[in-house]
């Protein structure tokens, strides 16, 4: 499984590097992200500016480093909040069943009819552009996803022996839900969490790219791509490099998710016919 190991190793290295970038940007980046040097507009990559400069002379590498904090924030916050809400509602819906389940399911179905980005667009339409608004708009989509997964997982766990045993001993609903069902569905949910992070990053970065997320002069990678897009002919590096870093994080989380799933999923990785 050499190839798989290599991918996983690269993934962990990428995440480590980005985390270090986000903890100590001031020591790693050569300049602050607001530092503008018009004499170096659209400068090519050189020893001094590893990834070149953008249209106002900001060092792209510094921008990337300063923006990694935002990127990790984007990955983590909507996904975790979405998971917390989604899992709670999902367990409730799956365990309690009946009318509550029907109502919740119907609402989820309706919201899910809207393509994810469209829902985000509508919410930004109402709230206005901005990084946090973009993140909240993506959170709602995540919540729906987690509700569905948690609900189906809850169904598989609901009728098992130990749940009945707990009920026979007189456990209340809340107790059963959170002490018995939740720990047992936690592993697939963590896998799903890992897989959701790249999606969240891509969505929010996409919104920034469309001008609806973070505002300039934020070093958010999506915003950097949007600003540098006009100068693609002269300085492609300014637009490509942030995108490549977005890809790196996305790739890293997907690989880690796959590796994790291979470990915890009882189904065989491959089947010999």
Partner 1 sequence: MWKYIVKRLGYFIPTLFGITILVFTLSRLVPGSPVETILGQHATAELEALFEAQLGLDKPIYVQYIIWLQNILRGDLGQSLISNRKVSYLLFHRFHYTIRLALLVTVVNAVVGISFGIISAWRSGGKIDQALRFISIFGWSMPSFLVGIVLIYVFALKLKMFPAMGAGSIANLILPTLTLAAGGSSYLSRLTRGSLLEIAGQDFVKTAKAKGLTKSKIMISHVMKNGLLPIVTVIAGSFRGALGGSFIVETIFAYPGIGYLATQSVSHRDYAVVIGTVLFFAILTCVTNLVVDILYVYLDPRVRYERR
Q: Would you say how long the chain is, in residues?
A: 273
**Using alpha carbons only, how large is the chain's radius of gyration in Å?**
22
d(CA 137, CA 115): 12
For the chain, helix, strand, coil in percent to 5 are: 75, 0, 25
271 binds partner 1 (CB under 8 A): yes
Q: Which of 23, 118, 186, 264 binds partner 1 (CB under 8 A)?
A: 118
111 binds partner 1 (CB under 8 A): yes
80 binds partner 1 (CB under 8 A): no
d(CA 224, CA 217): 9
122 binds partner 1 (CB under 8 A): yes
CB of 22 to partner 1, least distance (A): 19
Contact track, partner 1, 4-23, x by CB under 8 A: x--x----------------
Please check whether residue 18 is in contact with residue 24, taking contact to mean a CB–CB distance below 8 angstroms.
no
Residue 23 contacts by C-beta under 8 Å, 6 or more apart in sequence?
A: none
CB of 6 to partner 1, least distance (A): 9
Q: Which of 3, 38, 39, 172 binds partner 1 (CB under 8 A)?
A: 3
Mark the segment that binds partner 1 (CB under 8 A) among 15-23, 60-68, 145-153, 250-258: 250-258
The answer to whether the Cα torsion of 179, 73, 244, 51 is positive or negative is negative
| Residue 209: closest CA among 181, 175, 246 | 246
Residues 145-164 that bind partner 1 (CB under 8 A): none
Site residues for partner 1 per CB under 8 A: 1, 3-4, 7, 106-107, 109-111, 113-118, 121-122, 124-126, 128, 198, 202, 205-206, 209-212, 222, 225, 229, 232-233, 236, 239-240, 243-244, 246-247, 250-251, 254-255, 258, 267-273
């Amino acid at each position: 499984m050499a190839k798989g190991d290599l991918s996983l190793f690269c993934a962990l290295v990428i995440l480590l590097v980005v985390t270090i970038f986000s903890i100590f940007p001031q020591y790693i980046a050569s300049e602050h992200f607001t530092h503008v040097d018009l004499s170096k507009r659209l400068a090519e990559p050189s020893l001094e500016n590893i990834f070149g400069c953008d249209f106002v002379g900001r060092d792209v590498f510094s921008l990337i480093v300063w923006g990694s904090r935002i990127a990790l924030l984007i990955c983590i916050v909507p996904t975790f909040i979405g998971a917390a809400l989604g899992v709670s509602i999902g367990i409730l819906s799956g365990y309690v069943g009946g009318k509550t389940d029907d109502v919740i399911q119907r609402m989820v179905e309706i919201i899910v009819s809207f393509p994810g980005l469209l829902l985000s667009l509508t919410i930004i339409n109402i709230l206005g552009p901005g990084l946090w608004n973009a993140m909240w708009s993506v959170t709602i989509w995540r919540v729906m996803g987690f509700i569905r997964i948690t609900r189906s997982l809850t169904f598989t766990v609901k009728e098992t022996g130990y749940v009945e045993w707990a009920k026979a001993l007189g456990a209340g609903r809340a107790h059963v839900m959170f002490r018995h069902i939740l720990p047992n569905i936690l592993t697939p949910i963590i896998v799903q969490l890992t897989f959701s992070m790249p999606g969240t990053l891509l969505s929010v970065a996409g919104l920034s790219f469309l001008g609806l997320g973070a505002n300039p002069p934020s070093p958010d990678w999506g915003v950097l791509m949007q600003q540098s897009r006009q100068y693609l002919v002269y300085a492609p590096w300014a637009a490509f490099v942030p995108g490549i870093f977005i890809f790196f994080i996305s790739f890293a989380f997907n690989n880690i998710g796959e590796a994790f799933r291979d470990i915890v999923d009882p189904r065989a990785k491959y089947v010999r016919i």
